[in-house]
Amino acid sequence: MSDWGDILSNVYSITSIILAAGEGKRMHSKVPKVLHKVCGKPMVEHVINCAREISGEEPIVVIGHGAEQVRKEISGVRYVMQENQLGTGHAVMQAEKYIIDGDILILYGDTPLLRSEVLMEMYGMHRDEGCSATILTSDMEDPTGYGRIVRTGDKLVEAIVEDKDADSDTKRIKEINSGIYFFNGKELKGALRNLKNDNTQGEYYLTDVIGIMRRKGLKIGAFKTNNTEDIMGINNRYQLSTANKIMQSRITKKLMLDGVTIIDPDSTYIEPSVIVEKDVTINPGCILEGDTVIQEDSVIGPYTRIKDGKIGRGVSIQNSVVLESSIGEGTSVGPYSYIRPGNKIGKHARIGDFVEMKNSNFGDNSKASHLTYVGDGDVGNNVNLGCGVVFVNYDGKNKYRTYIGDNSFVGCNVNLIAPVRVNENTYVAAGTTVTKDVPKDSLAIGRAKQDNKEGWVTERKNK
Ligand code: UD1
Ligand code: CA
């Protein structure tokens, strides 16, 4: 939460109501619209976070369509049910018991790009001018589909007219309703009780409360923003992708201004929860998700996906996938490594091409340079795993662990049949299938003796 949020919520109490009960027909989806994700988070969650930053109170979320799914995904809010979706005004009425005399902020769940800075400025105006309602508006090049702000000769806001109810003159108005409002709770409650549904869609429009309040002689404000991105409503998947792009460019821009080199922001996807320290370089084609942290001087990519990864300083990861694992300082990974969940990889280690690792500890200065599977392993420090080493961790029913002690050398093409321990300072000869523990300081060799049949090729030719 920003300092401003703290100050505001200490001084004023703002009750925020977020409308999220609609189906979102234009998404053509089983998933309710507000749960579709923008940069890894359901769009309504972005709106909720924005509300939290300004109000400090638990937001009220009106749900209806897909209510159970929404409840499951989002917590820390107060839910209100709207059984039948009879319009945005009807949705707000469902939250009537929460509408007290103080300030009410109303937001729609499908505007994920909204930033709290905009709300704070708008709230300042709402209070300074003593308005009973303040609408966030904007001039749109193409206002089709939005409600229009109708003003009287003296420029005062008179009403909002929905696109579907607008005559051709009204349709020409470029100033639109964003669906974001501050209200005085008492006046809002009164106006809601006077709503009618005598319009094209037969719905109770929240927008009609503006006309009702105006006719009562109350003061209506309009806070106009030039930044149409902030108020963009998402109704279909094309707009969803546009919103993703815009949020991505905000995230990558902020990181770059904070000292991260991003070679090609357009091909980089970073979720808002990811922390990237300064002097990290991110090459093209990277996807950084979840609770990933990347420390200073690391070089990520090209073409790398990291989800919930803790990446130490000066690590290099190329063309690889890293999931729920930590990688120590100075280690290099890839190209083409697959680091599955549950690994703790030490410092200055090397995980090379076509190495797969899962649920393993891998010590400092240890190497698996190529074509190796490390599954359920505990590998010490200064260990070398040769090309083609396989940790045979699964017998068809259960998984077992393999231990390799410090300073051991495991030759190429060795199978380690778990559970098994290869103790400190050992050598395992190439091609060995290790089925029993190897004592420390010894050599394990387990393979058929080679037999050379001299002259065999010539003899066969002569037959
Ligand atoms: C609405 C506004 C319009 C504004 C536009 C901005 C009204 C009548 N119109 O139109 O003036 O320009 O947003 O994007 O308010 N919802 C419910 N219950 C309902 C109906 C809707 O919770 O019964 C929720 C939806 O889930 C959605 C939000 O309200 O999050 C807006 O509904 P939507 O149908 O998208 O309204 P628009 O037609 O876009
Ligand atoms: Ca909408």
Place of tokens 């093409």: 413
Is residue 183 located within the same domain as residue 311? no
Q: Is 344 inside any structural domain?
A: yes
Query: Going by CA atoms, what residue is nearest to atom 3 of ligand 1?
Result: 147
At residue 1, the 3 state secondary structure works out as coil
pLDDT of residue 1: 41
Other beta carbons within 10 angstroms of residue 456's beta carbon come to: 9
pLDDT of residue 300: 98
pLDDT of residue 12: 54
pLDDT of residue 350: 98
Distance 428 CA to ligand 2 centre (A): 66
**Average of per-residue pLDDT across 200-215:** 97
pLDDT of residue 4: 54
Which residue from 65, 88, 93 has its CB within 8 A of the most atoms of ligand 1, so it is best to mutate? 88
pLDDT at 135 over 60: yes
Q: Are 203 and 197 in contact (CB under 8 A)?
A: yes
Distance CA 408, CA 417 (A): 17
Q: Is 343 inside any structural domain?
A: yes
Which atom of ligand 1 is found nearest the CA of 204? 8
| Residue 133 beta carbon below 6 angstroms from any ligand 1 atom | no
Is residue 177 located within the same domain as residue 280? no
Annotation says 126 is catalytic:
no
Q: What band does 386 get if pLDDT is binned at 50, 70 and 90?
A: very high
Is residue 279 located within the same domain as residue 332? yes
Q: What band does 435 get if pLDDT is binned at 50, 70 and 90?
A: very high
CATH assignment at residue 401: 2.160.10.10
pLDDT at 433 over 50: yes
Q: Tell me the residue ranges of DSSP E strands in 109-196.
A: 133-139, 148-151, 157-161, 175-184
**Average of per-residue pLDDT across 220-246:** 95
Residue 109 in tokens: 């769940």
Distance CA 158, CA 152 (A): 6
Domain of residue 214 covers 3-231
**Average of per-residue pLDDT across 228-233:** 93
Is residue 339 located within the same domain as residue 378? yes
Is residue 218 located within the same domain as residue 307? no
Residue pLDDT, tens place only, 276-323: 999 999 999 999 999 999 999 999 999 999 999 999 999 999 999 999
pLDDT at 420 over 50: yes
| Residue 20 beta carbon below 6 angstroms from any ligand 1 atom | yes
Q: Are 60 and 17 in contact (CB under 8 A)?
A: yes
Identify which ligand lies nearest to the alpha carbon of 145: 1
| Residue 205 beta carbon below 6 angstroms from any ligand 1 atom | yes
Helix axes 116-128, 43-55, angle to 10 degrees: 40
Residue 232 in tokens: 């963009």
CA of residue 120 relative to chain centroid, distance: 25
Q: Note the pTM of the prediction, 2 decimals.
A: 0.90
Identify which ligand lies nearest to the alpha carbon of 176: 1
Other beta carbons within 10 angstroms of residue 11's beta carbon come to: 8
pLDDT of residue 132: 97
CATH assignment at residue 19: 3.90.550.10
Q: Is 53 inside any structural domain?
A: yes
Q: Is 62 inside any structural domain?
A: yes
pLDDT of residue 155: 86
Is residue 127 located within the same domain as residue 182? yes
DSSP summary character for residue 61:
E
Q: How many domains does the chain have?
A: 2
**Average of per-residue pLDDT across 178-203:** 97
Residue 61 in tokens: 């979320």
**Average of per-residue pLDDT across 317-335:** 98
pLDDT at 34 over 80: yes
Distance CA 424, CA 358 (A): 22
pLDDT of residue 9: 44
pLDDT at 56 over 90: no
